[in-house]
């Protein structure tokens, strides 16, 4: 079965069909409905990709097994033996409903997934957006190539929507951001062309006149559709920190914080450093990273994990070399390690950076650590 699924993923269709049929028959013979279901599921994904006339029959077998055995979790949830991207299952339900294959059950499953029972098209993948330290967009596992954007403004439009993901933007506001020198008529024309290019890049196989999924229009405003299968690294970063803040157990807090910090690979939308419309979001996320990194380092220091505390403190200073809390953590870690020289060097670096960049002196807490350095034994 897994061999057959692997052939589906790698596009070796004849081999996939052979092994999946063999596994489905073998699971049937040994009375294993779960194995049968998985094999039929991958057969359906294969036949859909091939636009095969065998799809309705395969759908009938798969949906009967799922309904009989209560395997609805395959829809909308990542499973060990199912597809990498759960939204890949949605087009199968649409195909079943359209072809009259257990259509009432397919419609019920669509409703459980909070999708319209009248949905006629779904791209079948999660749109994964990487914004921290780089900008890259994946349709499922496939990255959108530079050539697929058609025009640079289409990529910028998506970035603008990401920087304002909590609200929809009026069309004239979008025009003012992306075409500040153009008059209203020219900006309107440019917007329409750019929006079409963006929608085609995100959903290249969407039939003409079908509703788009990822970019939503509401009246005269546009924004990312919160109900669409979207994964945004910056949003995941914030969710993990919120989970860590609410956790009752220190180990769980530390785990959430560490996962969040791993997601922060650098500044938000680094290729838009000089655009005013993303500066506020970039600063907010950077501040969130720095404060969370300090919290994490404080937990590590309390656990006497000095090496990890020092590594994280140094990492903070690569982001902001005037972040005084990081200097304090480093000095405390070096003192606990009895490394008076490194503690003193760290304090001197702190004084220099604060003076040169901000024209201020260290805080009283940092001065107290300096006194501790001087009193420490050589």
Query: What CATH number corresponds to the domain at position 135?
Result: 1.10.10.10
For residue range 227-275, what is the model confidence (pLDDT) as tens digits? Answer: 899 999 999 999 999 999 999 999 999 999 999 999 999 999 999 988 8
Residues 198, 71, single domain; the answer is no
Residue 377 confidence (pLDDT) above 70: no
Residues 296, 326, single domain; the answer is yes
| Of 112, 143, 164, the domain-final residue | 112
Residues 32, 69, single domain; the answer is yes
For residue range 43-95, what is the model confidence (pLDDT) as tens digits? Answer: 999 999 999 999 999 999 999 999 999 999 998 788 999 999 999 999 999 99
Q: What predicted TM-score, i.e. pTM, was given to this entire model? A: 0.90
What token pair was written down for 352?
């220099």
What token pair was written down for 185?
């008529």
| Of 195, 216, 231, the domain-final residue | 231
Please provide the average confidence, as pLDDT, over all residues in the chain: 94
Residues 249, 362, single domain; the answer is yes
CATH number, domain at 339?
1.25.40.10
Residues 284, 177, single domain; the answer is no
Residue 118 falls inside a structural domain: no
Residues 205, 152, single domain; the answer is yes
Segment 189-210 shows an average pLDDT of 94
Segment 308-332 shows an average pLDDT of 96
Structural domain count, the chain = 3
For residue range 325-352, what is the model confidence (pLDDT) as tens digits? Answer: 999 999 999 999 999 999 999 999 999 9
Residues 249, 215, single domain; the answer is no
Q: What is the tally of helices (H) and strands (E) in the chain?
A: 16, 7
| Of 59, 89, 112, the domain-final residue | 112
pLDDT value at residue 378: 65
Q: What DSSP letter does each residue of 107-160 carry, written as one string?
A: HHHHHHTT--TT------S-EEEE-BSS-EEEETTEEPPGGGGSSHHHHHHHHH
Residues 253, 147, single domain; the answer is no
**Phi/psi at 370 (nearest 5 deg)?**
-65, -40
Q: How far is residue 294's CA from residue 319's CA, in Å, rounded to a whole number?
A: 12
Domain of residue 366 covers 233-375
Residue 50 falls inside a structural domain: yes
Q: How far is residue 321's CA from residue 332's CA, in Å, rounded to a whole number?
A: 17
Residues 94, 151, single domain; the answer is no
Residue 32 falls inside a structural domain: yes
Residues 279, 162, single domain; the answer is no
Residues 155, 52, single domain; the answer is no
Residue 222 falls inside a structural domain: yes
Nearest to 123, CA basis, from 90, 167, 170, 146: 90
Residues 165, 223: contact at Cβ < 8 Å?
yes
Residue 36 falls inside a structural domain: yes
For residue range 140-175, what is the model confidence (pLDDT) as tens digits? Answer: 999 999 999 989 999 999 999 999 998 999 999 999
For residue range 350-368, what is the model confidence (pLDDT) as tens digits? Answer: 999 999 999 999 999 999 9
The C-alpha torsion from 36 through 39 and 41 to 47, rounded to 10°, is -130
């Amino acid at each position: 079965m897994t061999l057959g699924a692997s052939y589906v993923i790698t596009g070796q269709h004849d081999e996939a069909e052979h092994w999946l049929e063999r596994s489905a028959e073998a699971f049937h013979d040994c009375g294993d409905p779960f194995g049968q279901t998985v094999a039929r599921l991958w057969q359906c994904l294969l036949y859909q990709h091939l636009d095969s006339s065998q799809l309705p029959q395969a759908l009938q077998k798969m949906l009967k097994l799922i309904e009989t055995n209560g395997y609805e979790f395959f829809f909308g949830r990542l499973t060990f033996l199912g597809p990498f991207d759960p939204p890949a299952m949605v087009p199968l339900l649409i195909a079943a409903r359209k072809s009259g294959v257990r259509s009432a059950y397919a419609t019920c499953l669509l409703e459980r997934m909070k999708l319209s029972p009248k949905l006629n098209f779904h791209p079948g993948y999660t749109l994964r957006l990487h914004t921290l330290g780089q900008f890259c967009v994946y349709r499922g596992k496939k990255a959108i190539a530079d050539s697929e954007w058609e025009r640079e403004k289409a990529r910028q439009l998506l970035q603008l929507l990401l920087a304002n993901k909590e609200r929809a933007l009026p069309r004239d506001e979008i025009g003012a951001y992306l075409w500040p020198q153009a008059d209203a008529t020219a900006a309107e024309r440019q917007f329409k062309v750019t929006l079409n290019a963006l929608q085609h890049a995100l959903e290249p196989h969407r039939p003409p006149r079908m509703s788009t999924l990822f970019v939503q229009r509401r009246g005269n405003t546009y924004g990312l559709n919160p109900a669409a299968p979207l994964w945004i690294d910056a949003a995941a970063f914030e969710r993990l920190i919120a989970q860590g803040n609410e956790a009752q157990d220190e180990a769980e807090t530390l785990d959430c914080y560490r996962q969040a910090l791993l997601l922060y690979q650098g500044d938000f939308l680094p290729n838009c450093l000089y655009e005013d419309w993303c500066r506020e979001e970039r600063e907010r996320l950077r501040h969130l990273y720095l404060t969370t990194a300090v919290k994490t380092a404080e937990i590590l220091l309390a656990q006497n994990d000095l090496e990890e505390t020092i590594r994280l403190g140094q990492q903070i200073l690569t982001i902001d070399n005037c972040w005084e809390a990081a200097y304090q953590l480093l000095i405390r870690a070096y003192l606990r390690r009895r490394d008076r020289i490194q503690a003193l060097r760290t304090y001197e670096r702190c004084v220099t950076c604060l003076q040169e960049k901000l024209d201020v002196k260290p805080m009283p807490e940092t001065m107290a650590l300096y006194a501790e350095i001087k009193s420490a034994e050589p």
